[in-house]
């Protein structure tokens, strides 16, 4: 009985296809959310911000073009680099030359997304 309860959390992952690639939710608790983001070459996520959600990203592979702020300043993050995104910071993730894999850890607010621009016409 005890082992059965422990094993229910083993490999409890959810893969969600996105127009820019896919995300794998590898940790889903009441307090935090862990994801792997696989961004296809030439693709980008929405230019967006969060009202409450805090997230930290870690580049596992590729070069991430991170657009931040009202001026959309571009930071190039390489493998092994990380960046903290506080609530209210406008941002976009982009994979220009190569696919990018990101590890994202965030507070648990999965619906807290305000999209300002989206080339896939999502709201």
Q: What is the DSSP string of 105-121?
A: EEES-TT--EEEE-TT-
Residues 4-35: b if buried by 16+ CB within 10 A, e if exposed: eeeeeeeeeeeeeeeebbebebbeeeeeebeb
Q: Where are the domains of the chain?
A: 2-117
d(CA 108, CA 118): 23
Q: Are 82 and 108 in contact (CB under 8 A)?
A: no
The secondary structure of 7-68 as a DSSP string is HTTTT--EEEEETTEEEEEEEE-SSEEEEEEEEPTTEE--EEE-SS--EEEEEEES-EEEEE
On whether the 2-117 domain is CATH 2.60.120.10, my answer is yes
Q: Which of 66, 119, 60, 57 is CA-nearest to residue 91?
A: 66
What is residue 33's predicted lDDT score, i.e. its pLDDT?
Answer: 94
Q: What is the pTM of this model?
A: 0.89
Asked if the model's pLDDT at residue 6 lies above 70, the reply is no
Please determine, for residue 3, whether its predicted confidence score (pLDDT) is greater than 60.
no
Under the banding of pLDDT at 50, 70 and 90, the label for residue 24 is very high
What are the pLDDT digits (tens) for 82-113? 999 999 999 999 999 999 999 999 999 999 99
């Amino acid at each position: 009985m005890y082992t059965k309860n422990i094993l229910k959390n083993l490999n409890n992952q959810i893969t969600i296809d996105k127009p820019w690639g896919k995300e794998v939710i590898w940790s889903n608790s009441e307090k935090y959310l862990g994801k792997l983001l696989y961004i296809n070459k030439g693709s980008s996520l929405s230019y967006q911000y969060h009202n409450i959600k805090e997230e930290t990203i870690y580049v596992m592979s590729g070069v991430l073009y991170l657009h931040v702020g009202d001026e959309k300043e571009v930071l190039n993050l390489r493998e092994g680099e990380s960046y903290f995104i506080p609530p209210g910071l406008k941002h976009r993730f982009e994979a220009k030359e190569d696919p990018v894999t990101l590890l994202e850890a965030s507070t648990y607010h999965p619906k807290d997304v305000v999209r300002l621009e989206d080339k896939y016409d999502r709201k």
